Amino acid sequence: MCGIFGYAGYRDAAPVLVEGLKKLEYRGYDSYGIATLDTHLDIHKKQGKISETEGSFPKLRGTLGISHTRWATHGVPNDVNAHPHTDCTHRIAVVHNGVIENYFELRKDLTAQGHTFLSETDTEVIAHLIESHYQDDLYTAVIEALRHLEGSYALLVLAENEHRIIAARNKSPLVLGIGDGEMFAASDVAPLLDYTERVIVMEDDDQAIITPQGIRVLRAGNAVDRPVERVTWHADEIKRGGFAHFMLKEIYEQPGVFFETFRAARDENTLAIIRDSPQVTAIACGSSFHAALLMKYFLEEYCRKPVRVEFASEFKYYTPPVSGVALAVSQSGETADTIAALRKAKQYNCPTVAVTNVQGSTISRAADKTIYMRAGPEMSVAATKSFIAQVAVFLQIANMLTDGKLNQALLHAHQAIEETLLVDLADAVALCKKAENLFYIGRGAFYPVAMEGALKMKEISYIHAEAYAAGELKHGPFALLTDITPVVAICPGGITRGVMISNIKEVKARKAPVIALGESQDTELRDIVDCFIPIRSKGPIPQVLSATVILQLLAYHTARELGCDLDMPRILAMSVTVE
Ligand code: F6R
């Protein structure tokens, strides 16, 4: 959570930082702040979103600066708690992504030494610690301060007397960008793409000294070599390109993303690890967890390979028996719970494979092997194309494990996504937008699809939505059904259709309105439900993809009708880097 961005170059730093922060806003957007350095520090920080400051940003002087967009952990979102934070003299400024776990004790000690704190944040202790060690060299003071910190941090620091930025990383992501006479540091590559494609990914315990002329990476004072990598993403990919929202753009990108990812995920070496494993253990959170549940269906149904899927946040706190490969599934590759679970899996000496979208991310570095999704940058907080990309990876694995038996089913899979994009959802949206509660039901592989659909609906429209395996509804949740509680039922063809129809009739008998996704020609289903959404594709795999897209669009259009902030839902942030 939180995004940080630093610039050292020849341009006015503030406009560069403002534009960069907008590209990091998906990581947190309750407040923002910038410090620039000319002869002295200029600081502007405020509650609210940087993207809503159009034209009203004050002039800050200097060609060197650091900036921050916040997702509050310690202290409410307000102007004072916004970063940068400064020391008592206001001559040292710090921006920070992460959590300082021992900040309370540090704050007590520093207060006893006479330091005055202005904010409720954990970050402010860093500024005061640096102040207490500062003599005439900022880098030395920073590494002294770091010795006292427990927890996670990506830090950028400025001091009034020194024309350079000091960066430091431990357990929170930080990349350095190398331009021509200008250098950058950021939580991810998005703000760098307009300037350079050459980056260095910092490792835990690295620090960097950044000047307009160059970057030196160090560890406790000693220079280290880090490879310069080329970013494969392009600046155009992080623009809305005529779409009203990133979320809609990303939904529309899905046919291509599925196709590209499926093709690129063909990796014999990684497959051999999975093939040789008696069992696959997947660890993930949120939408990635739902995608992993779909993998369970594919691998168990088509390949007879046992799969267990664990919430990363649970896996790290108990000691399950694990045999075989552990798969860490994460769009960002920076989710703190998934990183911790992956490290735990390594303690079992399991081979580990990362499935991630982000080159050089912590999870890809920690795992033995990585399968990259080809989703491109996902700017909307609600995951859409990254979910489809994960499904494409898992379908490729299933297809390879069955020596191509799914080829036929997969041949037109991306078309199943494409032809779903223009589905008419007006009636379904009209029902959903009036509801305070929604249920989603499905069976087999359509149960994780229902879970993902319900998650999309609640996170962007703020309507309470719960998914159940269709057979479970009558074991308790039935008590909540009323004539104003719509039930979204995924009821395609296949062996579960008959029993799904029975479940839908049971729901109808409780007067709850039903929105059903079913095969286009299913007139029996069409006749018994309140709202029918046709799935045009055939066969379970294309239908899983079609149903996923329909439910993404249902959430999108409902939230849009309700006037919600689609790309930046309240309170949420994209990359959950705190446990
Ligand atoms: C939902 C969503 C989250 C993420 C979850 C895991 O739309 O985006 O539930 O799926 O925070 O994130 P990653 O995949 O980056 O580990």
Q: What is the pLDDT of residues 257-285, one digit of tens each?
A: 999 999 999 999 999 999 999 999 999 99
Q: Among candidates 414, 418, 416, 467, which has minimal Cα distance to 442?
A: 467
- Show Cβ contacts of residue 137 under 8 Å, excluding neighbours closer than 6 positions: 162
Q: Which residues of 460-478 are buried (b: 16+ CB within 10 A; e: fewer)?
A: bbebebbbbbbeebeeeee
Residue to substitute in 309, 576, 577 for testing ligand 1 pocket (most ligand atoms within 8 angstroms of CB): 576
Residue 570 has pLDDT above 80, yes or no: no
Instruction: Return the pLDDT at 573.
Output: 58
- What average pLDDT is seen over the chain? 93
pLDDT at 577: 61
- Does 578 have pLDDT greater than 90? no
Closest ligand 1 atom to residue 363 Cα is 16
Q: CB–CB of 394/298 below 8 Å?
A: yes
Tell the burial category of 103 from Cβ atoms under 10 Å away from its Cβ (0-12, 13-18, 19+). Answer: buried
Residue 377 has pLDDT above 80, yes or no: yes
Per DSSP, 305 falls in state -
Give 196's pLDDT tier (boundaries 50, 70, 90).
very high
**In the prediction, which pLDDT does 571 show?**
62
Q: Minimum mean pLDDT among 51-60, 64-73, 258-267, 475-484: which range? A: 51-60
- Whether residue 360 contacts residue 263, with contact meaning beta carbons closer than 8 Å, is answered with no
The string of DSSP codes covering 171-224 is BS--EEEE-SS-EEEESSSGGGTTT-SEEEEPPTT-EEEEETTEEEEEETTEE-
CATH superfamily, domain 240-411, is Glucose-6-phosphate isomerase like protein; domain 1 (3.40.50.10490)
Which segments of the chain belong to CATH 3.60.20.10? 3-236
Return the CATH fold of 3-236.
Glutamine Phosphoribosylpyrophosphate, subunit 1, domain 1 (3.60.20)
What DSSP character marks residue 101? T
For residue 387, which atom of ligand 1 is closest to its CA? 10
Which pLDDT does position 553 carry in this prediction? Answer: 98
- Nearest C-alpha to atom 8 of ligand 1 is from which residue? 383
- Fold of domain 420-572: Rossmann fold (3.40.50)
186: confidence class by pLDDT, cuts 50, 70, 90:
very high
Q: pTM of the entire structure?
A: 0.86
Q: From residue 500, how far is each of 390, 464, 495 by CA, in Å?
A: 27, 23, 9
pLDDT in tens, 282-311: 999 999 999 999 999 999 999 999 999 999
Nearest protein Cα to ligand 1, atom 3: 286
Q: Which residues approach ligand 1 with their CB closer than 6 A?
A: 285-288, 330-332, 335, 338, 382-383, 455, 459, 576
Lowest mean pLDDT: which of 60-64, 75-79, 257-261?
A: 75-79
Task: Report the separation in Å between the CA atom of 443 and the middle of ligand 1, taken as the mean of its atom positions.
Answer: 23
93 to 28, 68, 123, 129, 225: CA distances (angstroms): 20, 11, 11, 12, 27
Q: Is the pLDDT of residue 389 over 80?
A: yes
- pLDDT of 458 above 70: yes
Residue ranges, CATH 3.40.50.10490, the chain: 240-411, 420-572
The pLDDT-based confidence of 187 (bands split at 50, 70, 90) is very high
* Ligand 1 site-directed mutation target among 187, 250, 285, 578, most atoms within 8 Å of CB: 285
Dist. CA 105–CA 79, nearest whole Å: 24
